[in-house]
Structure formats: structure tokens, C-alpha cells
Amino acid sequence: MLIQILLILAVVGLLVSFLRHHGKSRTAAGVKIGFALFMVFGVIAVLVPSATSALAQLVGVGRGTDLLLYGTVVAFGFATINTYLRFKELEHRYAKLVRAMAIQGAEKPEDRATGS
């Protein structure tokens, strides 16, 4: 079925491009465009339900709702990875900050030579 190929390609393609270019401004723009297209698609689906069904038939899915569901699943997975990577990046910056503070406040043994 066409839809299977499309879905798998979409998932793999998104994942690869994402992992490759994560954090670059072009990806950020790509995400926005993708999101905008998704929204437009949503509006069309609401206004002309038969359109999604027609599209679904075209790619080999039974109903338009199924097509929407598939699309949502892909988008959700994508968003999850995006969030995960963003958190990792943040964590890394946070670690650098903490490290700088820690090294700045280092206590040498000679500073407490009189201690127990």
C-alpha cells in the first residue's frame, strides 16, 4: 500500500533529518513550515471532510479520519523526539553552568589547613 511506504518514509526521513540538523536554524524553520502545513491541512479537513477521504483513497487508506490519525501519530513522535533533544541540550548547558560555578568555588586543602 502506498500509505505504508509514505508513513515509513515520513518517519525515517523526519528522524534522520532531525538528528542530523538538530538545533540549526534551518531545522527550526522547517519545523515551523511543517507545523503550518499541518494546521492548514487541519482546517481543510474540517471545512471539506470529503477532501481528506479523497486524499486517503488516493494513498490507500480507507477513511479520511484514519489518515488524520496516522498523521497525528507521526507528528506526535516527532514532537516527542524534539522535546527530548531540546531537554538534553538544555541539560548540557545547565551542567556547564554548574561546572563553572563549582570550579570557581573550589576549596583547596591548604585553605582549611587548620581544620580537624
Partner 1 sequence: MTDWSDVWLVIPVYNEGQVIADVVRNAMATFPNIVCVDDGSADDSAARIRTTGAHLVRHPVNLGQGAAIQTGVEYARAQPGAELFVTFDADGQHQVDDVVRMLERMRAEDVDIIVGTRFKSGADTSHIPWIKRLVLRTVVMLSPRTRRLGLTDAHNGLRVFNQTVAQQLSIKLNGMGHASEIVEMIDRRKWRVAEEPVTILYTEYSMSKGQSLINGVNILFDSALRTGSRR
114 alpha-carbon distance from chain centroid: 55
Q: How far apart are CA 94 and CA 78, in angstroms?
A: 24
- Cβ of residue 16: shortest distance to partner 1, in angstroms? 8
Q: Which of 22, 30, 66, 68 binds partner 1 (CB under 8 A)?
A: 22
Q: How far apart are CA 86 and CA 41, in angstroms?
A: 27
Q: How far apart are CA 29 and CA 35, in angstroms?
A: 10
**CB of 103 closer than 8 Å to CB of 97:** no
Q: Which of 1, 33, 107, 114 binds partner 1 (CB under 8 A)?
A: 107
Residues in 63-92 that interact with partner 1 by CB under 8 A: 81, 84-85, 88, 91-92
Total of chain residues touching partner 1, rule CB under 8 A: 27
Interface positions with partner 1 (CB under 8 A): 15-16, 19-20, 22-23, 81, 84-85, 88, 91-92, 94-95, 98-99, 101-103, 105-109, 112, 115-116
